[in-house]
């Protein structure tokens, strides 16, 4: 786990690097807009921000689903599970 991040989930782990790169792209488009005043860069930065908001909503939904599945599939103390998850 990255020391700067205080939490990580299975639903989030594989998205960390792409999110980081998207944030860098937003910063770069913003920098280019501020230096050249080309509205195309501002538009692309805004499109990436919108995508990032959608992606984070999707990740949060996946985390909720994983949490629900975990809580419903967790055996109680009286059950014995095989390596395949079936109780005897």
- pLDDT score for 3: 55
Domain boundaries, the chain: 10-73
Span of 10-19, 33-42, 52-61, 65-74 with lowest mean pLDDT: 65-74
Choice among 14-18, 21-25, 30-34 with the minimum mean pLDDT: 14-18
pLDDT average, residue stretch 32-38: 98
**pLDDT for residue 76 is more than 60:** no
Residue of 54, 69, 81 whose CA lies nearest to 9? 69
Closest CA to 29 of 6, 51, 7: 51
């Amino acid at each position: 786990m990255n020391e700067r991040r205080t939490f990580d989930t299975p639903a989030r782990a594989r998205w960390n690097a792409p999110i980081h790169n998207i944030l860098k792209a937003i910063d770069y488009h913003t920098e280019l807009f501020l230096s050249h005043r080309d509205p195309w860069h501002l538009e692309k930065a805004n499109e990436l921000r919108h995508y990032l908001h959608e992606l984070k909503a999707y990740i949060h939904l996946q985390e909720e689903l994983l949490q629900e599945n975990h809580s419903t599939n967790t055996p109680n103390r009286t059950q014995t599970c095989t390596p395949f998850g079936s109780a005897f």
